[in-house]
């Protein structure tokens, strides 16, 4: 029968025998062996329903007493070969499925929507196939996230989201350690680099994104020269030296990231007002033993200590200097923060090797850069040209601490609240979504939910998801490495995906690029 | 060993005779000091000359100074700079090298797609010197990318790398220039002799050094010198191992006076009076004067200010040179115009229309008829780039001719320009002709 829905006859895995609009119950066909998370499709004449297996139970038409008696007989050896007559008919598995999506044929095209009805009673269900997702259209600025997954089976259907929407409305990646968070972020960045329209700031605390001669990384992207800039204390040739003049750091960049007492905050503010960009040098130059600092001696000392810790400054005979060379108190690196902001505005991934600096120091640098971007984008907004600028994002590894406002307001919580209006978004990564304030969680448009064994965290993320994930608890708990559920305000259903291994993704493209390079002889260069 | 590190001489950049004299005496002084201090060799990290084929009188003076030094058996090692390099024609540097006056280091050869700059050994000291020449618009960046670093690493001895490229990390806040990250410099050299950036800079390691120019007779560099920026070169002492010891030799090419006049809210006449009074009273004898007039005049035109007179007064009082900066001088009679449009042409058209009539001849009438159309044609002419093979002189002459033709004004010999608009020709007649001048060639690096 041709319905316009493109349904072919496939093996039936079950039949609807019960349920309501929130959950359907299938009697499973013997041998179908459905798993939690599997996608099944119920074909009706006017619509097809794509559902996800959310619960498996037993069903039996035999009286419970008789089952228990029979079990006892078998276990105790009274009658080890006892069998029920018509066993396949009378004993079965019940599959509880959550209707995710209704696909209808309207105006000559397939349209997906949230289920408004339920399938015919006794409708048969089959496993979902790639063809069932032919209604999905790749967005213009597509950012590939992974392949659609039915349980542990990966379908040859790519799931991509519109990069603009994805980044502007914030992304939360929630998972326990080892479930593939970093891999997912690498895949997202790799995909974003294709367009050269998304500026993403990444403080790479383990220096795992750029890549090494032995392992692939973002450096291997075909567009890396145009779309990636890498800052490190010891960069490879061609990349940038991480050298930041302390004049580029504002006390504001420290507040909300590092804990300060009220007196310390006031002193910082006073230093900023009096000395502007030279506030660090001026603070370090204060002789707290001087009588004029009698009352604030303790505060000045504590501030000096904190500032020295954050910027890794040590006192030498010639004055203060940065022990690891990242920060400069003299003439170097005055434009680094501006360069980073400019690169983000130009749609580049700005990768900072944070492996040799403390997490707090990395956040202070990120704060300085984002403050600059915010200021520029604020100006562009008022000038009416913000739309011409790249969508900017920041990968935030320590999301809960910063977004919870534990140390006060900061640029990251500001982005979470109002970044969308300025085309600046967060890619927040966390194991502990429950610590992030609810209003901020609710503001995050896309949640990529990966495996998490902590019930409290699953609950927090499910409650804030764009779709009702109340029945997904066990599915989320059972997600394997690289498996995820994407719940987004831009999607009509929570999409189960399998994120590819970054090495595979990059490896494929490297091979293609290598072949292309071999086919085209390198242009002759002329040196002088 | 002891060597001198200079850069950015930009010989021939100034046209004023007195400034030219200062330029050559500064060069002489620098080499005299080198001789007195007994340097073994001199490094010039690019931009010895301001253009690739400079005026021969400038070359002659420079060669005399260089020859005096090299005749003692010592060498001058150089790289091309962004100004004295030419991709299409011979540079004066090649001529000087052929004559044995200088040695260009880092001549390129390629091996397996990698650049191997030639390493020259200084016979007197054994120092190994190589480098990468500068090119226009920092095109040499590619050479840094392709550099065979292992090959350079394997070179032993006291190693000097000469380059004419700015380092991005040394930019001051708000300063824009294209360059390389310090990470692009090859590892393992004992001294990195930089050029191209017109200020003194030494990095924390004490090995990456920019001496800045010897002499600055133009624009922002002149202003910086007048305001106290050090000018000179580095004297470097080193043994085979250990950190080089640096001594900056300050040359103080001239004393300067810096005067800023804010014209905001004043009439052209009031400014004339103020400037006249100041020029008469200031002691400018033997000094370079930098006069900056900025702000918005309340009435009168910017051309009403008698800068010529000020120049005369200062010259009479013995000033070496007056550098005038009136870029930020405006008049209310030419206020800001806002125009919106779909294309650059549309916006330009609207601005021309808006501004039509703002500039008037002495009779109070516009100087050309149909000003918006004439302005659009003039802009089109001015967009015309220099043709390949065309000399700068020919280019300026052609531009002048075409601009005159558009405006319908007299050519320099007083003959009527051809092809001008009717109204334009009339206007020029009424004004008795306008003598067109081409702007002096002034670059920054």
pLDDT confidence tier of residue B207, bands split at 50, 70 and 90 = very high
State the pLDDT at residue A92. 95
State the pLDDT at residue B337. 65
Task: Tell me: do B140 and B25 sit in the same domain.
Answer: yes
Residue B274 vs residues A161, B16, B265, B300, B306: alpha-carbon distances, Å: 67, 26, 13, 15, 11
Please determine, for residue B443, whether its predicted confidence score (pLDDT) is greater than 50. Answer: no
Q: Do A525 and B133 touch (CB under 8 A)?
A: no
- Give the active site residue among B5, B10, B50, B83: B83
Q: Do B142 and A525 touch (CB under 8 A)?
A: yes
Give me the residues of B, 88-117, that contact A with CB < 8 A: 108, 110, 113, 115
Q: Do A339 and B149 touch (CB under 8 A)?
A: no
Please determine, for residue B419, whether its predicted confidence score (pLDDT) is greater than 80. Answer: no
**ipTM over 0.85 threshold:** no
- The answer to whether B286 and B252 are in contact (CB under 8 A) is no
Q: Do B204 and A325 touch (CB under 8 A)?
A: yes
DSSP helix/strand/coil, A416: helix
Q: Is B323 a catalytic residue?
A: no
Task: Tell me: do A45 and A65 sit in the same domain.
Answer: yes
Token code pair at residue A515? 């072949």
State the pLDDT at residue A515. 81
Of A235, A325, A527, the CB nearest to B183: A235
The 10s digit of each residue's pLDDT in A344-364 is 999 999 999 998 888 889 999
Flag whether the pTM goes above 0.90: no
State the pLDDT at residue B410. 64
Cβ-Cβ contacts under 8 Å, B173 against chain A: 245, 247-248, 277, 334-335, 338
Task: Tell me: do B87 and B16 sit in the same domain.
Answer: yes
The 10s digit of each residue's pLDDT in A277-308 is 999 999 999 988 888 777 888 999 999 999 99
pLDDT confidence tier of residue B334, bands split at 50, 70 and 90 = low
Token code pair at residue B134? 């500068």
The 10s digit of each residue's pLDDT in B285-302 is 999 999 999 999 998 888
The 10s digit of each residue's pLDDT in A167-193 is 999 999 999 888 999 999 999 999 999
Shortest alpha-carbon distance between residue B195 and chain A (Å): 16
Of B80, B174, B183, the CB nearest to A237: B183
Q: Tell me which residues of chain A have a C-beta less than 8 Å from any C-beta of chain B.
A: 234-241, 243, 245, 247-248, 277, 321, 325, 328, 331-336, 338-339, 522, 525-528
Q: Do A235 and B201 touch (CB under 8 A)?
A: no
Task: Tell me: do A345 and A210 sit in the same domain.
Answer: yes
Q: Do A527 and B115 touch (CB under 8 A)?
A: yes
d(CA B16, CA B13): 10
Check if B357 contacts A (Cβ < 8 Å): no
Which chain A residue's Cα is nearest to B104? A528
Task: Tell me: do A237 and A255 sit in the same domain.
Answer: no
Last residue of a domain, one of B214, B230, B250: B250
- H or E segment to which residue A356 belongs: none
Nearest to B138 by CA among B79, B180, B173: B180
d(CA B19, CA A525): 41
Antiparallel, parallel or unpaired: β A349-353 and B191-194:
unpaired
- The answer to whether A240 and A229 are in contact (CB under 8 A) is yes
Task: Tell me: do A16 and A70 sit in the same domain.
Answer: yes
Q: Do A528 and B171 touch (CB under 8 A)?
A: no
Which is higher by pLDDT, A510 or B338?
A510
pLDDT confidence tier of residue A78, bands split at 50, 70 and 90 = confident
Q: What DSSP string runs through B305-340?
A: S-HHHHHHHHHHTT-SEEEEE-TTEEEGGG------
Of A238, A331, A525, the CB nearest to B184: A238
Antiparallel, parallel or unpaired: β A483-488 and A495-498:
antiparallel
Buried b (16+ CB within 10 A) or exposed e, A387-425: eebbbbbbbbbbbbbbbeeebeebbbbbbbeebbebbbb
In the block, residue with structure tokens 């599915």: A475
Token code pair at residue B120? 């020259």
Task: Tell me: do B302 and B406 sit in the same domain.
Answer: no
Token code pair at residue A211? 């890549």
Task: Tell me: do A279 and A235 sit in the same domain.
Answer: no
Check if B202 contacts A (Cβ < 8 Å): no
- H or E segment to which residue A259 belongs: none
The 10s digit of each residue's pLDDT in A352-406 is 999 888 888 999 999 999 999 999 999 999 999 999 899 999 998 877 777 877 6
Q: Do B146 and A527 touch (CB under 8 A)?
A: yes
B430: left (phi over 0), alpha (psi -120 to 50) or beta: alpha
The 10s digit of each residue's pLDDT in A416-438 is 889 999 999 999 998 888 888 88
State the pLDDT at residue B335. 58
Task: Tell me: do A478 and A342 sit in the same domain.
Answer: yes
State the pLDDT at residue B252. 87
Cβ-Cβ contacts under 8 Å, A239 against chain B: 181, 183
CATH number at A393 reads 3.40.50.300
Of B80, B110, B146, the CB nearest to A528: B80
Shortest alpha-carbon distance between residue B261 and chain A (Å): 27
Residue A125 vs residues A43, A96, A112, B115: alpha-carbon distances, Å: 7, 12, 18, 66
Task: Tell me: do A61 and A99 sit in the same domain.
Answer: yes
d(CA A420, CA A489): 14
Shortest alpha-carbon distance between residue A438 and chain B (Å): 40
Cβ-Cβ contacts under 8 Å, A323 against chain B: none
State the pLDDT at residue B431. 33
Task: Tell me: do B232 and B127 sit in the same domain.
Answer: yes
Last residue of a domain, one of A328, A362, A389: A328
Task: Tell me: do B244 and B261 sit in the same domain.
Answer: no
Check if B153 contacts A (Cβ < 8 Å): no
Which chain A residue's Cα is nearest to B142? A527
Average pLDDT, chain B: 85
Task: Tell me: do A34 and A116 sit in the same domain.
Answer: yes
d(CA A208, CA A191): 17
Of B80, B169, B184, the CB nearest to A333: B169
Domain count for chain B, please give it.
3
State the pLDDT at residue B371. 82
The 10s digit of each residue's pLDDT in A194-250 is 999 999 999 998 889 999 988 899 999 999 999 999 999 989 988 999 999 999 999
Token code pair at residue A193? 């680099």
Cβ-Cβ contacts under 8 Å, A325 against chain B: 204
Task: Tell me: do B234 and B146 sit in the same domain.
Answer: yes
- Residue A111's domain comprises 12-132
Last residue of a domain, one of B277, B304, B335: B335
- Residue B296's domain comprises 255-335
Side-chain half-sphere exposure of B206, counting CA atoms within 13 A: 11
d(CA A360, CA A365): 9
In this prediction, what percent of chain A has a pLDDT beyond 70?
Answer: 97
The 10s digit of each residue's pLDDT in B91-146 is 899 999 999 999 999 999 988 788 999 999 999 999 999 999 998 777 788 899 89
Total residue length of chain B: 445
Token code pair at residue A486? 């994407």
Residue range B250-270: average pLDDT?
93
Cβ-Cβ contacts under 8 Å, B135 against chain A: 528
Residue range B420-436: average pLDDT?
33
Task: Tell me: do A218 and A173 sit in the same domain.
Answer: yes
The 10s digit of each residue's pLDDT in A477-520 is 989 999 999 999 999 999 999 999 999 999 888 778 778 877 77
- In sequence order, the 6+-apart residues with CB closer than 8 A to the CB of B226 are B256, B257, B258, B288, B290
3-state helix, strand, coil in chain A (%, to 5): 35, 25, 35
d(CA A471, CA A23): 9
Domain count for chain A, please give it.
3
Cβ-Cβ contacts under 8 Å, B110 against chain A: 525, 527
Task: Tell me: do A343 and A436 sit in the same domain.
Answer: yes
Last residue of a domain, one of B316, B335, B354: B335
Cβ-Cβ contacts under 8 Å, A523 against chain B: none
Cβ-Cβ contacts under 8 Å, B177 against chain A: none
Give me the residues of B, 270-289, that contact A with CB < 8 A: none
Please determine, for residue A331, whether its predicted confidence score (pLDDT) is greater than 80. Answer: yes
| Backbone angles phi and psi of B5, in degrees to 5 | -120, 110
């Amino acid at each position: 029968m041709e319905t316009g829905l493109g349904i072919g006859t496939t093996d039936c895995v079950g039949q609807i025998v019960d349920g309501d609009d929130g959950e359907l119950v299938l009697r499973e066909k013997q041998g179908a062996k459905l798993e939690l998370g599997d996608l099944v499709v119920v074909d009706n004449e006017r619509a097809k329903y794509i559902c996800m297996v959310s619960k498996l139970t037993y069903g039996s038409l035999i009286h419970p007493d008789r089952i228990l008696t029979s079990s006892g007989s078998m276990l105790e050896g009274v009658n080890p070969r006892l069998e029920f007559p018509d066993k396949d008919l009378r004993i079965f598995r019940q599959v509880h499925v959550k209707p995710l999506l209704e696909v209808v044929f309207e105006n000559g095209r397939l349209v997906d929507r949230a289920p408004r009805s339920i399938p015919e009673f006794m409708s048969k269900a089959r496993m979902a196939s790639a063809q069932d997702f032919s209604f999905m259209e790749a967005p213009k600025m597509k950012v590939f996230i992974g392949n659609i997954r039915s349980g542990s089976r990966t379908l040859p259907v790519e799931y991509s989201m519109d990069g603009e929407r994805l980044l502007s409305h914030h992304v939360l990646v929630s998972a326990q350690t080892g479930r593939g968070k970093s891999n997912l972020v690498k895949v997202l960045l790799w995909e974003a680099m294709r367009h050269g329209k998304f500026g993403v700031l990444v403080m790479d605390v383990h220096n795992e994104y750029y890549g090494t001669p032995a392992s692939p990384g973002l450096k291997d992207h075909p567009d890396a020269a145009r779309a990636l800039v890498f800052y490190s204390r010891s960069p490879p040739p061609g990349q940038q030296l991480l050298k930041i003049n302390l004049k580029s750091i504002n006390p504001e960049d420290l507040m909300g990231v590092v804990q300060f007492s009220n007196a310390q905050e006031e002193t910082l503010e006073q230093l900023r007002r009096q000395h502007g960009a030279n506030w660090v040098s001026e603070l370090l130059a204060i002789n707290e033993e001087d009588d004029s600092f009698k009352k604030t001696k303790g505060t000045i000392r504590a501030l000096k200590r904190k500032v020295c810790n954050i910027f890794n400054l040590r006192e030498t005979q010639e004055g203060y200097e940065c022990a690891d060379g990242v920060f400069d108190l003299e003439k170097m690196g005055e434009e680094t923060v501006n360069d980073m902001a400019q690169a983000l505005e130009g749609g580049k991934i700005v990768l900072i090797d944070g492996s040799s600096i403390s997490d707090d120091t990395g956040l202070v640098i990120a704060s300085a850069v984002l403050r600059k971007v915010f200021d520029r984008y604020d100006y562009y907004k008022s000038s009416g040209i913000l739309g011409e600028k790249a969508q900017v994002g920041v990968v935030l590894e320590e999301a809960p601490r910063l977004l919870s406002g534990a140390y006060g307001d900061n640029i990251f919580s500001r982005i979470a609240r109002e970044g969308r209006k300025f085309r600046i978004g967060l890619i927040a990564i966390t194991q502990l979504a429950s610590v992030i304030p609810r209003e901020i969680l609710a503001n995050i448009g896309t949640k990529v939910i990966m495996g998490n064994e902590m019930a409290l965290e699953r609950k927090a993320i499910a409650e804030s998801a764009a779709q009702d994930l109340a029945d997904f608890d066990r599915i989320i708990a059972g997600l394997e490495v690289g498996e995820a559920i994407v719940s987004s305000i831009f999607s009509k259903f929570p999409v189960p995906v399998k994120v590819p291994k970054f090495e595979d993704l990059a490896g494929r493209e490297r091979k293609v690029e290598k072949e292309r390079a071999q086919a085209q002889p390198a242009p002759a260069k002329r040196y002088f | 060993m002891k060597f001198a590190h200079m850069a950015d001489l930009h010989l021939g950049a100034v046209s004023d005779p007195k400034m030219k004299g200062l330029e050559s005496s500064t060069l002489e002084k620098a080499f005299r000091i080198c001789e007195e201090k007994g340097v073994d060799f001199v490094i010039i990290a690019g931009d010895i000359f301001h253009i690739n084929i400079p005026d021969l009188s400038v070359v002659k003076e420079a060669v005399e100074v260089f020859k005096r030094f090299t005749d003692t058996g010592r060498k001058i090692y150089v790289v091309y700079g962004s100004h004295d390099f030419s991709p299409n024609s011979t540079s004066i540097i090649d001529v000087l090298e052929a004559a044995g006056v200088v040695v260009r280091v880092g001549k390129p050869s390629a091996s397996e797609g990698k650049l191997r700059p030639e390493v020259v050994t200084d016979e007197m000291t054994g120092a190994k010197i190589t480098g990468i020449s500068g090119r226009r618009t920092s095109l040499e960046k590619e050479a840094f990318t392709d550099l065979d670093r292992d090959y350079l690493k394997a070179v032993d001895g006291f190693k000097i790398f000469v380059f004419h490229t700015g380092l991005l990390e040394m930019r001051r806040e708000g300063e824009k220039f294209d360059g390389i990250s310090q990470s692009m410099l090859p590892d393992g050299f004992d001294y990195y002799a930089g050029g191209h950036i017109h200020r003194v800079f030494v990095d924390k390691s004490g090995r990456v050094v920019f001496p800045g120019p010897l002499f600055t007779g133009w624009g922002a560099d002149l202003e910086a010198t007048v305001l106290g920026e050090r000018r000179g070169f580095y004297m470097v002492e080193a043994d085979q191992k250990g950190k080089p010891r640096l001594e900056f030799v300050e040359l103080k090419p001239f004393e300067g006076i810096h005067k800023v006049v804010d014209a905001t809210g004043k009439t052209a006449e009031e400014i004339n009076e103020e400037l006249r009074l100041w020029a008469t009273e200031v002691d400018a004898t033997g000094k370079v004067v930098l006069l900056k007039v900025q702000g918005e005049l309340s009435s009168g035109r910017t051309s009403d200010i008698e800068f010529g007179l000020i120049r005369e007064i200062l010259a009479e009082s013995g000033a070496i040179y007056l550098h005038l900066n009136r870029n930020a001088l405006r008049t209310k009679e030419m206020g800001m115009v806002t125009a919106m449009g779909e294309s650059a042409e549309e916006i330009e058209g609207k601005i021309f229309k808006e501004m039509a009539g703002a500039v008037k001849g002495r009779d109070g009438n516009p100087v050309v008829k149909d000003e918006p159309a004439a302005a659009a044609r003039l802009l089109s002419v001015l967009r015309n780039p220099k043709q390949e093979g065309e000399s700068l002189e020919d280019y300026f002459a052609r531009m002048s001719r075409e601009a005159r033709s558009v405006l319908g004004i007299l050519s320099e010999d007083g003959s009527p320009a051809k092809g001008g608009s009717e109204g334009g020709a009339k206007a020029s007649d009424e004004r008795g002709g306008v003598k067109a001048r081409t702007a002096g060639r002034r670059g920054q690096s």
